[in-house]
Chains A and B, each alone.
Chain A
């Protein structure tokens, strides 16, 4: 027995990773973005890798594992972390954390209270931690708490928010989804919700790709009406059970509003071109296409989530190398309803700075490719998976090009282009590639990094997608 205890102690001392366990994801909300960081548990303590967090928050830092320190700088504030020390130095003030800072598996990890005790002082911003301990919101004093309870003798599910909140509501079959975009939300359910016969489950889905409350309705629900009560910061879900279907669906008796339309789209992939060592076009010194494409893709994700209430996934959420085949496989496997790839243009020293939408094209038999767009062949080679969606891709490209012409091309009447693009050819859903501007034009170089220009691009593409959706869903 003694030998076993000694052996285990020795094992822990020599090999701390042996008791390291992944314990889910920690979601950080910052501005209009969010990032999922894998938590690690060491013994009973939960830790968070600090470097991915700093990189997500764009905080300059220097670190040396051999010297055993990490130094974080934000304006005048400095924060210094030492290895195996639970005290951190914030501008010459000592702050004691609940557990020491450590290096495990070659990464710096900090206990969770590092966020609310130390990092907020360095950032000069409030950091709220969700009650679940699985999420943090940087720059927010608190999460918006949403409480679910049943009212009106169990007929109405009331979702009461602690502060004003706007959600995109959609209903697909027995599933009602309230998508909150980039607003940090925390959720609790009062007693009685679980035992209500017409509600199967109410759960908050939070990840990099989704931030939504999902209400699964039972089979006995004929129709559900969702109403928003802005003055009361509340949403209500009222179910009409199959026994009482004589109630006319369409308008809520309380509000007279139309019922939320049931959209079929569930998932959109937004692809930021290039990444990692593939930097794409060099726009300026230290400014590359891969970074601009990612920044615009993030904004587009937010714009689409907010406008359409659809789950939007980035093919790459950070600066990483990703092959064309991996991008294709991820979108096809996720059965995305739409694929939009963001690139920046480069056309030498010419003064052409037009933004253009591209669709796929097959070499030599473009006419047959267009014709097969409407046919549903039983077998299509995977590298030509786009054939069945090409007609829709072209309609999407028309919508995108029209919006781009209006907002970015100074009202010119340019047409979208077809081109044998490898990425688009193998996608099994409507797909376009948008090439923005010309990296060699000084005016474009000057504005491409600005938030306002990137927001304009994102809003333009999102507006086009919004116009395309009714065409695609109700052809």
Chain B
């Protein structure tokens, strides 16, 4: 066999070898990319650790108003007292999610779960909600504002150690709840939009 043909054949064989190995390598990499991990375990809401013998106390919850004039209106509920502000906060959020008993609008979608709530030493309550809070939110800027301040005002008004509230979704900072209001910063109480006015703080627990 002439020498140049031999070299040509060897060269072609090498090219084919590289091509085939590249193909398998590529296939392997694509499989790795599309391989799905095990399904994450569904979230289980942990009930607040409250002693059944703990005394109950009244709290003022804020729900979106269905009447013209005010954005939020107040409804009274009973919760169990606790030394821990986070435990009281969890009960308040659970009551908010369960909805109004006086035909006011829902503060959060009924499917929302509270993943966690903790209070820092500086008085910042971090409220971690499930994705349903955004994906099932009915939308609209005013409704979004009402949802956020229902949570913020209900916590700051009733739990003395909570000064501001940061809302996170599925454990991570979220851009907005329904496309408008910036969730990247903590919210402070804002009673300007409620029917409660400025006299509410005096009746709140210390």
Q: Which residues of B contact A (CB under 8 A)?
A: 64-68, 105-106, 138-143, 145-146, 164, 175-176, 179-182, 184-188
Contact = CB atoms under 8 A, between A and B. Distances in A.
Contacts of B138: 281-282, 346, 348
Contact of B179 (A280, A345, A347): A280
Contact of A352 (B68, B181, B187): B68
A344 to B, nearest CB: 7
A439 interface: yes
A217 B144 CA distance: 51
Contact of B142 (A274, A347, A423): A347
Contacts of B145: 419
Contacts of A439: 140
Interface string A425-446: 1000000010100110000000
Nearest to B105: A348
14 contacts: A273-B179, A281-B138, A289-B140, A345-B140, A345-B141, A345-B142, A347-B105, A356-B142, A358-B141, A363-B187, A420-B185, A423-B180, A425-B182, A439-B140
Given A363-B186, A364-B188, A421 B67 contact: no
A273 B105 CA distance: 24
Given A274-B179, A278-B179, A421-B180, A349 B105 contact: yes
* 4 closest cross-chain pairs (CB), A and B: A346-B140, A348-B105, A350-B66, A422-B182
A280 B138 CA distance: 8
Interface of A: 273-274, 278, 280-282, 289, 324, 343-352, 354, 356, 358, 363-364, 419-423, 425, 433, 435, 438-439
Contacts, number: 93
B179 A419 contact: no
Contacts of B182: 420-422, 425
Nearest to A418: B192
Nearest to A344: B140
Contacts of B67: 350-352
Contacts of B188: 363-364
Nearest to A412: B68
Contact of B175 (A274, A280, A324, A433): A324
A282 B105 CA distance: 17
B140 A435 contact: yes
Contacts of B175: 324, 422
Given A356-B142, A422-B175, A433-B141, 5 more contacts: A274-B179, A280-B139, A324-B175, A433-B180, A439-B140
Contact of A435 (B65, B142, B184): B142
Contact of A350 (B65, B176, B180, B187): B65
A426 to B, nearest CB: 9
A397 to B, nearest CB: 13
Contacts of A282: 138-139
A280 B184 CA distance: 21
Nearest to A278: B179
A289 B141 CA distance: 12
Contacts of A346: 138-140, 142-143
Contacts of B181: 419-422
B185 A363 contact: yes
A364 B65 CA distance: 24
B143 A348 contact: yes
A233 B141 CA distance: 47
A54 B56 CA distance: 65
A78 B145 CA distance: 49
Contacts of A273: 179
Nearest to A363: B185
B127 to A, nearest CB: 15
Contact of B141 (A278, A354, A364, A421): A421
Nearest to B103: A349
A274 B176 CA distance: 13
Given A281-B138, A281-B139, A346-B139, A351 B68 contact: yes
B23 to A, nearest CB: 22
Given A347-B64, A350-B66, A352-B67, A289 B139 contact: yes
Contacts of A350: 64-68, 105
A340 B164 CA distance: 31
A347 B180 contact: no
A291 B189 CA distance: 35
